[in-house]
Structure 1
Amino acid sequence: MADSVRSPRERYREQVRDEVKRHAWEQIASAGVTALSLNAIAKEMGMSGPALYRYFASRDELITALIRDAYRSLADTVRAAAEGGTTAVALAGVIRGWALQDPHRYLLIYGTPVPGYHAPEDITAISDELLAVLLVVCADPAAEDQKSPFDVLLGAKRGWVAKVLASPRTVHRALSFWTRVQGVLSLELAGHFAPMGIDPGLLLAEEVAEL
């Protein structure tokens, strides 16, 4: 909703929520998401715990807001790259750039699951937007006849695979793209490549190019 049509109370509420999320990211960066505490955030903001709960009713609600923002940011970044015309290799670089810009944001959505937390369905809907872009970028009509055993397995599946409106071969390529990107990024952000002195960006580009 545009600021011009929101009431002063709505704008103030959004400002407070944004400040809460900023403090939450700081907590996550220093101690991890499992240490996230609304009471600690309230203290930092000079508020009482009950006052803060008017803006976020629970820790899980705050985590959901952070995850939703992260997915929305990544989905918008990927879509913008695809609309401008891109290759799979270039798109992998865009995703890597997004992850390196804020590693904690990346790790919140693709790192270790938060114990006891379950994301709502609208989060899945946003992640499906990413898949839709990958299916377009990874489509290769010339390779449709080159079916692997996994392609055959996907073709026999109902449910999720049937919903994406793409061939099993394209779904396989998109999944392979995603696993290679996430594999390299996870190792890079965890610092495993640093002792090797290699260029993770070049490794990622070559991994995706092999597809």
Structure 2
Amino acid sequence: MAKSSAKTDAETGPQADAGTPRERYRAQVRAEIKQHAWQQIATAGASALSLNAIAKQMGMSGPALYRYFASRDDLITELIREAYRSLADTLHATAATGADLTVLAHTLRDWAREDPHRYLLIYGTPVPGYHAPQDVTGISDEIMKTLLDACAASLAARKTPPPAPAFLAEHREWAAGHPAPPAALHLALTFWTRMHGVLSLELAGHFAGMGFDSALLFAAELDALAPR
């Protein structure tokens, strides 16, 4: 996957020179490994990711590469962790401006379209045999909490909140302790499934040749869920 060569302030500022030469070299090699991993994912999918193939591309031995990532799952975890962290921070920054649910939805779509393989790694077909560690689950909980805040605010602005399925009052483990009322839980679940449904189909190319603008479909689904 081609990446921009432009450097951010964080990459060129004082922090870029932090650490010993050995630490900087290690960070550089790990970054190169991840770049090759993304190229493999773009070509053949995450399930085909091979550390030995990356080692060959980099002119390294397999054992040498394993000093940077202990296993394929270790590398996948790093990619997934960074993807979730990026989305969580992006949505949080948008929400901090006072943005409503509609703006958050379009922020999600923009983030997904910016790098479809990154999106599909975390919301596409699960990698067989892979289980995310607890800290990655915690980052995904941050995303859901931001969404639940927006859903609760959206419903608070309505004169008559819509009814919610009764079971949501009893089964709210997925809400990560958020105090949102059942109606907000229902809106969040509906929003999450329908927005991701449209995005996943769009990014996987399933709308190609159907003769409509997927952006308009996304907007129509959103308007049905969160009318202005």
1:127 paired to 2:143: no
Within the candidate set 89, 93, 97, 2:110 is matched to: 97
Once residues 180 and 63 of structure 2 are traced to their aligned partners in structure 1, the CA distance between those partners, rounded to angstroms, is 49
Once residues 34 and 162 of structure 1 are traced to their aligned partners in structure 2, the CA distance between those partners, rounded to angstroms, is 29
Which SS does the other structure have where 2:59 is aligned? Answer: coil
- In structure 2, the residue matched to 1:147 is 163
- The answer to which structure, 1 or 2, has the higher relative contact order (CA under 8 A, 6+ apart) is 1
Deviation at 1:195, TM superposition (A): 1.3
* Per-residue Cα deviation, 1:25-79 (whole angstroms, up to 9, x for no partner): 0011111111111111111111111010000000000000000011111111111
Which SS does the other structure have where 1:196 is aligned? Answer: coil
Structure 2 residue runs without a partner (length 5+): 1-13
Q: Which moved more, 1:16-25 or 1:189-198?
A: 189-198
1:162-173 mapped onto 2 (5 Å cutoff)? 163-173=177-187
1:185 paired to 2:202: no
1:114 paired to 2:132: no
Once residues 144 and 24 of structure 1 are traced to their aligned partners in structure 2, the CA distance between those partners, rounded to angstroms, is 49
Which SS does the other structure have where 2:218 is aligned? Answer: helix
Contact 2:18 2:24 in 1 (8 A): no
Q: Tell me which amino acid in the other structure corresponds to 1:205.
A: A
Contact 2:141 2:175 in 1 (8 A): no
Runs of 4+ deviating beyond 6 Å: none
Q: Tell me which amino acid in the other structure corresponds to 2:90.
A: T
Aligned CA RMSD, in angstroms, stands at 1.8
Q: Tell me which amino acid in the other structure corresponds to 1:19.
A: E
1:1-211 mapped onto 2 (5 Å cutoff)? 2-139=15-152, 140-141=155-156, 142=158, 146-148=162-164, 150=165, 152-157=166-171, 159-161=173-175, 163-211=177-225
Which SS does the other structure have where 2:26 is aligned? Answer: helix
Once residues 184 and 158 of structure 1 are traced to their aligned partners in structure 2, the CA distance between those partners, rounded to angstroms, is 25
Once residues 224 and 159 of structure 2 are traced to their aligned partners in structure 1, the CA distance between those partners, rounded to angstroms, is 14
Provide TM-score, normalisation by structure 2: 0.86
The total of aligned residue pairs comes to 209
Deviation at 1:5, TM superposition (A): 4.2
Bigger helix fraction: 1
Provide TM-score, normalisation by structure 1: 0.92
